[in-house]
Chain A
């Protein structure tokens, strides 16, 4: 099983100045000292707060979207030769203690990707609109997958060295969550799921995807899948 110091926690962040310091500190406090924050062209002090909390920070010169930031994290991980990356959201909704759970599942299943699922053992207080939105996204994504996944839109994911080497994400926005799963299956990567807990606050609810973003994400994904299937590989 991977030791915590062999694992890098990657956090894509955009305008998360009020919470990013706390998120980085909590991750380090959970026993994972290596934290990389991808500041996606934030207009606030996200990068400074993350550095103050002890994270390594890479900054996009302009805002390009969550998927673009995630791919920058993967590109950097490849350059550095990292063996394991766990990606979590920057808004504080995830519990860093759950990283241990993903690492355990990875060790048991030898999966290349472990998805932290909010719906295998649902936390209380997930808003009904989020449940509905995620169900629709699951149906859409699972249509293009060989297996059914319970939480295709989760931002909490463990990636093995093989996944880091092979994945090339091209969707800039939140559609990358689905793109990663579809592409991983295409490339023969093994995917497992592990239950995670989430805490939604007013802050994190304001930061998530709304209906317009969801529709844009779906159109982006469908466009790529239907007209440029080769780009998904």
Chain B
């Protein structure tokens, strides 16, 4: 099997991301769900880079799509939705954290004022 340059770089980068996720999990900086989901994603990217034709054909056959180019487009759309979901989730999480912080500051200030009066 003749390997293109990207077929070496992408799997290596994927492995790097997986190791990073494992490290974050071991240091309790990521939950196991986050680590497992991220690792599954990066491993599938690495494997897809190694066997692009076979996988896109398998996806095309599975979904009954005639061209494997279409399969790649659908796969990419799926990825975009996945990232959109992750971004929306992160945004909501950050918004909640900001609100919680604003509330703590407000209540601390109120407590000070109550003590003074």
A64 touches B105 (CB 8 A): no
A interface residues, how many (CB within 8 angstroms): 17
Residues of B near A79 (CB, < 8 A) are: 107, 111
B96 touches A58 (CB 8 A): no
B109 touches A64 (CB 8 A): no
Closest to A227 in B: B89
* A68 touching B107 in the complex, CB below 8 Å, given contacts A170-B96, A172-B95: no
Residues of A near B102 (CB, < 8 A) are: 41, 60-62, 64, 68
Question: Does A76 interact with chain B (Cβ within 8 Å)?
Answer: yes
CA distance A72 to B107 in the complex (A): 8
Task: From the candidates B103, B105, B109, B110, name the one contacting A68 in the complex (CB within 8 A).
Answer: B103
Residues of A near B98 (CB, < 8 A) are: 62, 64
B96 touches A72 (CB 8 A): no
Residues of B near A170 (CB, < 8 A) are: 96
CA distance A117 to B103 in the complex (A): 29
In the complex, how many angstroms separate the beta carbon of A156 from the nearest chain B beta carbon? 23
A64 touches B107 (CB 8 A): no
Closest to A231 in B: B96
B110 touches A76 (CB 8 A): yes
In the complex, how many angstroms separate the beta carbon of A51 from the nearest chain B beta carbon? 11
Question: Does A71 interact with chain B (Cβ within 8 Å)?
Answer: yes
* A72 touching B95 in the complex, CB below 8 Å, given contacts A58-B109, A58-B110: no
A41-B102, A60-B106, A72-B103 are known; give 20 further A-B pairs, CB within 8 A.
A58-B106, A59-B106, A59-B109, A60-B102, A61-B102, A61-B105, A62-B98, A64-B102, A64-B103, A68-B99, A68-B103, A71-B99, A72-B107, A75-B103, A75-B107, A76-B110, A79-B107, A79-B111, A172-B95, A172-B96
Which A residues are within 8 Å of any B CB, using their own CB?
Answer: 41, 58-62, 64-65, 68, 71-72, 75-76, 79, 170, 172, 223
A–B pairs, 14, beta carbons within 8 Å:
A41-B102, A58-B107, A60-B106, A61-B102, A62-B102, A64-B98, A64-B103, A65-B99, A68-B102, A75-B107, A76-B110, A79-B107, A79-B111, A172-B96
Give the 7 A-B CB pairs with smallest separation, nearest first: A68-B99, A64-B99, A60-B102, A72-B103, A58-B110, A58-B106, A64-B102
Which B residues are within 8 Å of any A CB, using their own CB?
Answer: 88, 92, 95-96, 98-99, 102-103, 105-107, 109-111
